[in-house]
Structure 1
């Protein structure tokens, strides 16, 4: 670019002298006219004053505004009431469901208790009948019609006392922690049976499974203790009564029963006598 190139200026262009003179003349004319008018006015003339009135709210507009405010407040109150009613309805439904669930559980528990009571009554009746048969067979000195009594008559001594006691409890109820005389758990029955032979066994099945000496399931004798689970960690015990059968307090559904070894094969056996 040439050093002599024209660079436009950002300054405002100066007004021409003629324009300034014209504007000064106009301004002067206006001021002269105002001065003449002021001089011509009477000396005692009062100054002109003008009052501008601001619009005011009339009664109708005020009532409308007040009514609108009340309507808005009522809508807010209605909404709040609706929310409260919905919350109350939800809570009532929840409480009703909770009450129904509790009632159902109570009814179920009552029905279960009634069924257990009926089952225990049947077991007691069966046990009483079987004991009566055993007593009758003993008085007659002959063989009993009861297969359990017949087998027990072939066992003598301490083993016989253990077997006879176990067979006499068949039909009793199973109760966890039960130690007799009409309800037992598995180890409670075994402990009580051995007490008839003057042997004091530990209370729980784990300890009972470690008593005496281990014997093979193919070489069992009446009075041996059968166990299920590991030796020292057994979860169930019963008494072998001979003839491939055992007596044990199984569970709350069956109570004390006589079962074949094939029905529930044990894990092992120990001989204490």
Structure 2
């Protein structure tokens, strides 16, 4: 046995190994803090704080900030889309209103044009009717292109010789006549035998227009077949007839008492 075997050892205890280091971790103020203790520090190393700290942004805070920014961006985009939609809607409504207004204006303009055209047409027709009546009166008042010759001259001569004689209803001359009695007596001078009354004389010959009269045509008032008065056209726009008891047998222009129609027997 060694002499030193029973002597208690005075060796110093071994320092804790590196594996016995304690790791402490904690989160303070939003940062991750790592502290290492119990490590052996070389003698010549500069003195450092008891705790060595490394700060890093917390993952939760970074995510929240990113999410907030994304939310703001999404909200702005949504606002822009909504504003654009409202603008588009307003433009669409304005365009529709303008189109409707335009259609109504066009419709109104067409109605006005149609109304004016109708008024112009009626005015034109009225003017044409007035011109036609004026032309008819002028034609009837103008001298006839057919002068009294031969039998018509004899007829007119007889009628003019009766001017001023009395009108007596039912009389056939020679001192007085009624209207149909005078025409019957006049045509008998040239060998034409007429019916006695006005109604029959108005259909005794060929119906002719008042714008195409010739000397010797029988004029009638009323309708053909039921005339109530007759006379004889003597040219120059005049006729001779036994008018009434007040005037007797007279010569008058056609427009003095415009006849209804005429018949031609010559």
TM-score by length of 1: 0.44
Structure number with larger C-alpha Rg: 2
TM-score by length of 2: 0.45
